[in-house]
Structure 1
Amino acid sequence: MQASFTRDRQRKKTSPQQIRRWIFVGIASIVIVAIIIANSITYFTDSRGNTSLISPLLFIFASIISIMFLILGSLTWLYTSHKQKKITFYFFCVCYSISLTFAAEAAATNNSNIFFSDITSFGSCSSIAALVIFFYHFPDLTLPAQSAVRQRQRIPWRGIILFCSHIVGTATIFTSLAFSLTGQTYEILRSTIIVNVTIMTMNIVLRISHSWFYCMQHELRQQLQQLRWIASGFILGSSLFWIFTLLPQLVPMPYAPLPGELTTLPIIIFLFTLGVAVLRYQLLIFTIYIRKSLIFAVRALGYMAVIYCCLLISSNSVQKNDPHVLLKYGLVLSITLVCSLAIWRLAEPCVDFFFFRERRRYRQIFDQSLYSSQISVDDIARIMTTMAVEAFEIPQVCLYLLEETRSVYRLTPDLLDEKRAFNREQLAQLLMQRLGSIEAASTATTGQEIDIAHPIFKQLAVAIRPLLLQEITTDSANRPAGISRYITPDGDREGDHILLAPIFIQKRLVGILVLGERDGERSYASEDFDIIALLLKRISPLLETALLTARANQQKALLNNLYSASSASGKSYTVSTIEQTARRYAQSVAAAIAGRAEVWLPQDQGYHCFVSEGHAPRLIETMEMPPLQAEDWQTYFFEAGSDVTHLPSFFIFPPETSFAWLPLHYGAQRAGILLLTYIQPHSFVPEERHALQMFARSLQAALDNVRMVNDLQQAYKKQQELDHLKDRFIDTVTQQLRIPLKRLDEYVETIEHYHTTLPAAERGKLIRQAYKTSGDLSIMLDTLFNVSQPRQEIALRTVALSTFVDTIISSLHTTQHKVSHEIPEHMQVSTDVFLLRQICTSILKRITSQQEYTVCLRASHSFTHVFIHIDCSGAQEKSAPRLTFSQSLIKSLLQEIDGSLEITPQAEYERITIGLPMAQEAPLKTS
């Protein structure tokens, strides 16, 4: 579709009518150049003996002015719309006739060259006749078609004036040619030109006046502005023209009058403004350049007029023999300087008053709308669209603003919140229909949103002026070049003349203002660009403030939603588990981003998804994540559709949804992953990235706090169990200590009172029994002291049992007892070395402290445990020692290392069996 459209445009560019116009303009240009060349040869040949520099400068100046008029008329005729080609052809004839006049003016001043004088006369009369014909068709240019026809039919005597003008002009031409042979053309030409100029002036004034009153009556503001341009240019140009032409006739001059190249120069202003008025809605440039050109021309011609008038005054009022000659010359010079400064200061406000009076009206519209504005994005959007509707008098205006979090330009305000929703909806649908036809557009658009990746934004981001939709949708290879870039193209499709104005804030594209097509097949052009620039200049500061406020409110709402979990946990006095804390935070962040939040924590050799909350699609379908690489432990913010070079290692292809990958670190340890996914394409702004990273750190701190609280609770429970066990042990020991203490007390008291009366044998027996009782008490107290000492956390290690038992036996330092073991060297157990040493030492000390026992340690095993058998056989007693007071304590200590204790009384000895878990690294050999 787009390709066929561009081909149609190319055919219309190279139509036969357009080719004929270019050929005609080329031939006319060749004629002008030939006349200038011939004029230069003749002029410099006749002026060979003249050494003055004024004559060559006047010739160069006249040639430049001739080319300027030729360019002005050619551009106006070639690049105007098809429906105005007939009218602008007459304008081309006017400019071409004046170009002929200036091209031959330098040689025509020489009386010996009659040919160039005839060309000058022909050009002057032809320009007057062409200008009269142009203003006869003037209503077709400024008024609607039916109104222009009625204007021509309503005033029939204008045709009579036009006919008379043609006759006078033709008679002037032939008279000048006929009398040129006798040298009597000057007076006839002078009188004829004055009559023609008078008729032309009357016709112009009547045409402009009638069109002005009609536009005022029907409130045609655009046509009034066009008439204001023409009338202002006519008044300014004609005023300066009569100053340069009539003033020398009224005031006698002691020297030659100004040459024709300078006296007719003010006509440039009138024809320039007339050409701008014709191409008013076809020039794709800012009127600020036209304004500067007009100000420069007015100042230059004003300086010339002031200097000319001062020369006339000084030449007629100052005499050579006047005694006050210096005073008068000083007065004239002062007047010249004052008038020059006045022209410099007043040129700009005068140009604005005559040509740009509408700017004041637009400022009033914008100021009135801004007085009642509120600082919010929707209100600013409503104000901007209202301003555009009132300024351009169009019903369809849309404003698309950038929504960074979604990477789209959204229609603001929404269609449901606007009274002109129907007109805006039509414009939005037409815009989307035209944008969807671009072949390079790979992103989908909807009626209220345009994706930020759409190709039009690349053109708008570098545009120096608003662009027509036809300029944007045209392929770059088929776009106009040269001067055609600054002329409105002819649009044949609906929506070609929709205007898109980029809105920049701090050199960043934040929105586009879309203006619908105008009625009457008028396009947007130069002055409209200035109005849009003025509108954006007034509204941009407020829009920037509103966007910053909205962005701050969004960040505030995001932070409030994110930290609602931490505030809720701070108010709660109940202890949560890790899963509950992670779920609470995940629900909070999922609600804040309107997506999905997953918390992955380490488990076994990988990572497990403990919590998954939200409605966005999951990036990882399984609940288990493979081990991560070192580069995966950095933060990733992935925006769907963007070009990325780094992603987590297990993503083979970039996902279709936006996500945030936030690692959780516990000090130097890697504690987990917080994965956030979004339902729609999302763009992460710097503030949002910072907020999400802070939330991840807050989640990690909350998980660490829960772990610490849980560890403290477990330690507290263990401490309570140990305290309860200690209490039981103390009770048992207290009961067990009563009898030995009582016996020891009795022994000591008996020995103390009766040691002198007791026989030696009895006294020795009492002493041995007291010594034995004190030994039992010391073992009990030693065991109680060891148990009451704080222990470190149990650390299981693989221990060679044979070497371990040798170390314990060597630490007993006993000589009365025989302690040996028969444990193979390859046996290994998994146990806590400190705890096992404490248990074995306590048992062996208890056994070896009573009598002379023979202790043998043997070992056996099952598939999971190794058993240590301690066999005790007494030399004097058949009964083996008992471990009644410490049996429960030793059992509880062994249970902490997954061990067991069993005491089996035998006939001649007692067997104490300790079970320990077998080490997995070195399985036992079966015997």
Structure 2
Amino acid sequence: MRGIYWMRLKAWRLLAIGTVIAVYTLLLVVDARFIFSSPSLSLWISFGFSAFVALVFLAVGVLVWLYARDRWVASLLFGSFSVIMIPFAVRTADLFQAHLFGAISGVCSSLGLTLCALLLLRFPRNYFTRWSSARTLTLRLKQVAVWMYVIALVLLCGFALSFSLVHYLWPRGPIWLNVLDLIYAIVVLAGIVTTIVISYVCSESLRERQQIRLFVWGVALAFTPVLILSILPEALNLPGIRAGWSTLTIVCLPLSLGYSILRYQILVFDAYIRRAVAWIVGVVGLVMLGCVLIALCNKVFMGMLASFAFGLASLTAITAPVVWWLAKVVTERVFFSEVLHYRRLIAEPTLLSDEILDLDEISRLLTLAAIHTFETSHVCLFVLDESCGCYYVYPALKDDPGDEARRLLARVLIEKLRPQTCGEVDWLETQWPAVEHIASARRPSLLYELLREKIGASFGLRRYVVTTMPLGSEAMLLAPIRVQGKMIGLLVLGERDDLQQYAGPDFEAVQMLLGRFSPVLETARLYGRANQHAALLNSLYSVSTLPGSAFQSIEEIAAVYAAVASEATMSRAEMWLFDEAQGLLRLVISSGSGPHIADEAYLRPAQWYDWAPWFYAGESSQEGQSSIAYMPSCLSLVPHFPFAWLPLQRGEQRLGILVLTYWRPHCFMREEMRVLQMFASQCAASLENARITIELREACERQKELDRLKDQFIMTASHELRTPLTAIQGYIELLSEYNSTLSVEARGNFIAKAHRGCDELALLVGNIMDASRVRIDAENIKLIPVLLRESIMYVLEILEAICKREKRRISLSVSPELCVMADDMRLRQVLLNLVSNALKYSPPETDIEIAVIEDDTWVIVSVRDYGAGVPPSDQPRLFERFVRLDRDMNSPVRGAGLGLYICKQLVGAMGGQIWIESSGVGGEGSTFAFTLKRTPSNLQVSDQKRQESDLTI
């Protein structure tokens, strides 16, 4: 279908081609009729040569007409070759009917010569538009001269056509008509030669000079054999070749001109064409050498057949190899000198040497060499990174932010080649279809070729010829860099500065350039890969130098190892620790940039392969797709990004999982997998050692704490117990010594005071015993609904005597129906300790306030005194065992420092919290508060309205 579309689009070209082919066939038929009327071998040979030459002119004209980019050039050449074809097609008929076919030949020759002259004004330099915007007087004069020359050509052509017509109508006309015809030919040929010389001298590029050189030498090859083999021997009365035979080389004229026009649109065949030209030059040279040697030997060895044969054979054996070698040299230096130019540029001494192993430096040198060779400022180099399976731009664009041309070229190429399913990326993946096509291609490819292959628009000769449409950004040349058949890089040449397209000669120059740089580039790439592997080893194992005592927790060592792994691999490192009791993996740390392996904070490994190393290269990896069944089962979704799953195990003990995730494509090399597994083993050993170290440290700390508590208990107990014991001992000694002299009241007072000391001593010992069994009591607490007011009233009744003695007033604000979830006996013990402390640590005759704040869920009970308060610095340790303030150690107030500790344990067991609020300023006192959970009362109460009551004792 696309072929039909193309044919419809080019229908007018095909119509012109069909018309010319029909004329060619008709003329051959007419010409053949004269051969059948007088058949002879010489006529058949002459007819064959003429038909072949006419066919060559026709074929070259058709090829240029179809594929030449400059349509004016294509039209002029097609027209000139079409009319030049006619004299060769009617050559035999011209011998029999000179008037009619001679006139046709004359008209076509004159018209073809004029069209060739006009063609050279358009190609390779366009003299019609070159100075169309001229502003200086010199350029305007040149433009006027060009148009005057064109007008003269047209007028002369008209005269020549008139002369041919007159010659046909008046065969025996005056001789000056032939002279005028000859003068026209000489003038036009002189104009052609002048145009060629001016174009060559004024040419601005190597391509223009090469095109002119090809045309000139094609003309030389076409007419030199006729001159040497036919005209010159005839003038010197020497044996030669008939002009009909020697004019066969005239086919070099259309071939050279057509090739010079299409050379920079031909994608391939340039090397083959140069080889064929070398063969043609060699064959022509050998034929000319043979003719010269035959003539020379004929003169020297006249009549001596043996000597003639020996001399001819000897001279031929000596001179033929030299002529063949000279033919190759001449072909390369004369016809295709730009190849030598490229070789000189590429072989120029540079900084390139075998000692250069830096990949960025080699890439920069290759880029500069390409810019210098191909005269383009848009060059970028992609180099294969096997760890990622992608081609990245080198030198890195981030290292050279000012190179906007290279950045733009790389971005355009990536946008053109990436599949539609791929998002925004800054690399070329090896598995993209376009990249695979480049890797398998035998030659460099133009970008538009790849795009044309993708849409299936290549057929016939179009696959070998550059399109005639403007390419724009698709004109870039993609040259694969190969080492031992493997593509290790891609050199991208952007649009040339002269706006010409890349074609056959450029392909060979690219191959020469890459042939010189590719070994050094591969060496630098392998060296960089080895350095990267060594850096990975150094980074991963640098953490092994840290002492185990430097870590305070498992999470801390996990964070350190995750940070090291993330930095070394440029990925996200997640550390999942295993809770053996619950059978779960818990995410404890995530470091670096990359996707998360799972959205959940917990994973449940259930299969044996959850604890096996696993490396996944992403969705594009065929190996990963084939082993998808062994993906860790605890992952709910199959990740679309590369990741490494590294179990942390010590023997049969499972400690956790280290996961590395990558945003960019990543291929895990064998060395990298081995290093990562070794790092995971080291991490597991460090985690196990840290766990053991932390447990030992905690045990040591607990032992130190126990020793501290023991010392504090001994100090507190010895201090607090000594006071009542001293009092008891003193009163007993007084009774023992003065019992007979004491009065009944004094003896009773001594006994009462001794009894009070015994009670105080029993209270201290009781508190110590309560502290020893408070944890057991906390475990045996049974929570039931308890009326808070009744518990508070019970405690106040116990302390009523003390309040009356010290003239205390305790205010209470609580609802009679307020019910909390608590253990009644332990609740009363807590309230008794708090109110007793408020009485002990506040001056007599000061008030005590008991307040209750309630909401839908919780009840806050607070006890406030107006004593000296507690400094903020001492508040954090107030609820620990055996803690008393320094100011209270020598005060009359006795205590073991266990009351608040017991309260904290009991309140916590009942589901609440206890705390202190104090500014530490004397007279403002302290407030001890605790919370309990509220519950509806299950007791019978009256329906009367709730009211608050104030109790004063």
Q: Give the TM-score normalised by the residue count of structure 2.
A: 0.62
- Give SS of 2:475's match: coil
Aligned to 2:710: none
* Amino acid across the alignment from 2:668: F
Aligned to 1:333: 313
Distance (whole Å) between structure 2 residues aligned to residue 396 and residue 711 of structure 1: 64
Aligned to 2:283: 300
* 1:719-730 matched pairs, under 5 angstroms: none
Aligned to 1:590: 566
Alpha carbons of 1:700 and 1:136: their partners in 2 closer, same or farther (altered >3 Å)?
closer
* Amino acid across the alignment from 2:505: E
Aligned to 1:211: 199
* 1:762-781 matched pairs, under 5 angstroms: none
* Amino acid across the alignment from 1:538: R
Distance (whole Å) between structure 2 residues aligned to residue 279 and residue 241 of structure 1: 27
After superposition, the C-alpha distances for 1:110-146 in whole angstroms (9 at most, x for unaligned) are 6589877776666555543432333344464489622
Maintained 8 Å contact 2:50/2:88: yes
Residue 246 of structure 1 pairs with residue 231 of structure 2: yes
- Give SS of 2:377's match: coil
Distance (whole Å) between structure 2 residues aligned to residue 244 and residue 195 of structure 1: 26
Alpha carbons of 1:130 and 1:704: their partners in 2 closer, same or farther (altered >3 Å)?
same
Alpha carbons of 1:353 and 1:88: their partners in 2 closer, same or farther (altered >3 Å)?
same
Maintained 8 Å contact 1:141/1:278: no
Aligned to 2:77: 91
Q: C-alpha displacement at 1:590, in angstroms?
A: 2.6
After superposition, the C-alpha distances for 1:792-814 in whole angstroms (9 at most, x for unaligned) are xxxxxxxxxxxxxxxxxxxxxxx
Pairing partner for 1:689 from 650, 659, 673: 673
- Give SS of 1:547's match: helix
After superposition, the C-alpha distances for 1:709-762 in whole angstroms (9 at most, x for unaligned) are 999999xxxxxxxxxxxxxxxxxxxxxxxxxxxxxxxxxxxxxxxxxxxxxxxx
Residue 532 of structure 1 pairs with residue 510 of structure 2: yes
Alpha carbons of 1:239 and 1:493: their partners in 2 closer, same or farther (altered >3 Å)?
closer
Maintained 8 Å contact 1:598/1:674: yes
Q: C-alpha displacement at 1:27, in angstroms?
A: 1.2
After superposition, the C-alpha distances for 1:20-76 in whole angstroms (9 at most, x for unaligned) are 22201111112223434554565366437x5xxx87666555544432321111111
Distance (whole Å) between structure 2 residues aligned to residue 21 and residue 271 of structure 1: 20
Aligned to 1:223: 208
Maintained 8 Å contact 1:128/1:169: no
Alpha carbons of 1:101 and 1:661: their partners in 2 closer, same or farther (altered >3 Å)?
farther
Aligned to 2:339: 359
Unaligned runs of 5+ in 2: 133-138, 699-953
* 1:731-750 matched pairs, under 5 angstroms: none
* 1:46-85 matched pairs, under 5 angstroms: 46-47=38-39, 59-60=47-48, 62-81=50-69, 84-85=70-71
Alpha carbons of 1:211 and 1:419: their partners in 2 closer, same or farther (altered >3 Å)?
farther
- Give SS of 1:500's match: strand
Distance (whole Å) between structure 2 residues aligned to residue 200 and residue 211 of structure 1: 16
Residue 675 of structure 1 pairs with residue 659 of structure 2: yes
Distance (whole Å) between structure 2 residues aligned to residue 366 and residue 420 of structure 1: 27
Q: C-alpha displacement at 1:593, in angstroms?
A: 1.2
Aligned to 1:391: 373
Distance (whole Å) between structure 2 residues aligned to residue 251 and residue 458 of structure 1: 65
Maintained 8 Å contact 1:491/1:497: no
Distance (whole Å) between structure 2 residues aligned to residue 285 and residue 198 of structure 1: 38
Distance (whole Å) between structure 2 residues aligned to residue 41 and residue 711 of structure 1: 115
After superposition, the C-alpha distances for 1:276-307 in whole angstroms (9 at most, x for unaligned) are 22224322225323312221221222233223
Distance (whole Å) between structure 2 residues aligned to residue 537 and residue 166 of structure 1: 53
Distance (whole Å) between structure 2 residues aligned to residue 610 and residue 477 of structure 1: 49
After superposition, the C-alpha distances for 1:423-450 in whole angstroms (9 at most, x for unaligned) are 3344445556x638x8x4222335x545
* Amino acid across the alignment from 2:460: G
Aligned to 2:394: 412
Maintained 8 Å contact 2:103/2:165: no
Alpha carbons of 1:170 and 1:431: their partners in 2 closer, same or farther (altered >3 Å)?
same
Aligned-pair Cα RMSD in Å = 4.5
* 1:747-762 matched pairs, under 5 angstroms: none
Residue 563 of structure 1 pairs with residue 541 of structure 2: yes
Pairing partner for 2:416 from 429, 435, 445: 435
Alpha carbons of 1:662 and 1:85: their partners in 2 closer, same or farther (altered >3 Å)?
same
Aligned to 1:100: 86
Aligned to 2:786: none
* Amino acid across the alignment from 2:466: T
- Give SS of 2:60's match: helix
Alpha carbons of 1:233 and 1:561: their partners in 2 closer, same or farther (altered >3 Å)?
same
Aligned to 2:726: none
Pairing partner for 2:118 from 123, 133, 142: 133
Distance (whole Å) between structure 1 residues aligned to residue 315 and residue 233 of structure 2: 20
Aligned to 2:292: 309
Maintained 8 Å contact 1:295/1:351: yes
Alpha carbons of 1:155 and 1:579: their partners in 2 closer, same or farther (altered >3 Å)?
closer
* Amino acid across the alignment from 1:162: L
Distance (whole Å) between structure 2 residues aligned to residue 568 and residue 46 of structure 1: 109
Distance (whole Å) between structure 1 residues aligned to residue 608 and residue 19 of structure 2: 77
Distance (whole Å) between structure 2 residues aligned to residue 302 and residue 520 of structure 1: 37
Alpha carbons of 1:476 and 1:266: their partners in 2 closer, same or farther (altered >3 Å)?
same
* Amino acid across the alignment from 1:684: F
Maintained 8 Å contact 1:499/1:516: yes
After superposition, the C-alpha distances for 1:644-686 in whole angstroms (9 at most, x for unaligned) are 1312334454213320123467679988644322244423234
Distance (whole Å) between structure 2 residues aligned to residue 233 and residue 420 of structure 1: 48
Aligned to 1:20: 12
Alpha carbons of 1:654 and 1:34: their partners in 2 closer, same or farther (altered >3 Å)?
farther
Distance (whole Å) between structure 1 residues aligned to residue 322 and residue 408 of structure 2: 53
Alpha carbons of 1:472 and 1:537: their partners in 2 closer, same or farther (altered >3 Å)?
same
- Give SS of 1:484's match: helix
Alpha carbons of 1:471 and 1:254: their partners in 2 closer, same or farther (altered >3 Å)?
closer
Alpha carbons of 1:701 and 1:343: their partners in 2 closer, same or farther (altered >3 Å)?
farther
Distance (whole Å) between structure 1 residues aligned to residue 656 and residue 81 of structure 2: 81
Maintained 8 Å contact 1:378/1:412: yes
Distance (whole Å) between structure 1 residues aligned to residue 682 and residue 182 of structure 2: 92
Aligned to 1:381: 363
Distance (whole Å) between structure 2 residues aligned to residue 55 and residue 691 of structure 1: 85
Alpha carbons of 1:39 and 1:668: their partners in 2 closer, same or farther (altered >3 Å)?
farther
Pairing partner for 1:619 from 582, 597, 601: 597
Maintained 8 Å contact 1:596/1:617: no
* Amino acid across the alignment from 1:688: E
Maintained 8 Å contact 1:108/1:116: yes
- Give SS of 1:265's match: helix
Distance (whole Å) between structure 2 residues aligned to residue 94 and residue 283 of structure 1: 22
Count of equivalent residues: 684
Distance (whole Å) between structure 2 residues aligned to residue 196 and residue 419 of structure 1: 64
Alpha carbons of 1:475 and 1:526: their partners in 2 closer, same or farther (altered >3 Å)?
closer
Which region of structure 1 is more displaced relative to structure 2, 274-283 or 161-170? Answer: 161-170
Distance (whole Å) between structure 1 residues aligned to residue 483 and residue 177 of structure 2: 62
Maintained 8 Å contact 1:444/1:451: no
* Amino acid across the alignment from 1:47: P
Aligned to 1:629: 607
Pairing partner for 2:259 from 264, 276, 286: 276
After superposition, the C-alpha distances for 1:758-805 in whole angstroms (9 at most, x for unaligned) are xxxxxxxxxxxxxxxxxxxxxxxxxxxxxxxxxxxxxxxxxxxxxxxx
Q: Give the TM-score normalised by the residue count of structure 1.
A: 0.64
* Amino acid across the alignment from 2:14: W
Maintained 8 Å contact 1:411/1:449: yes
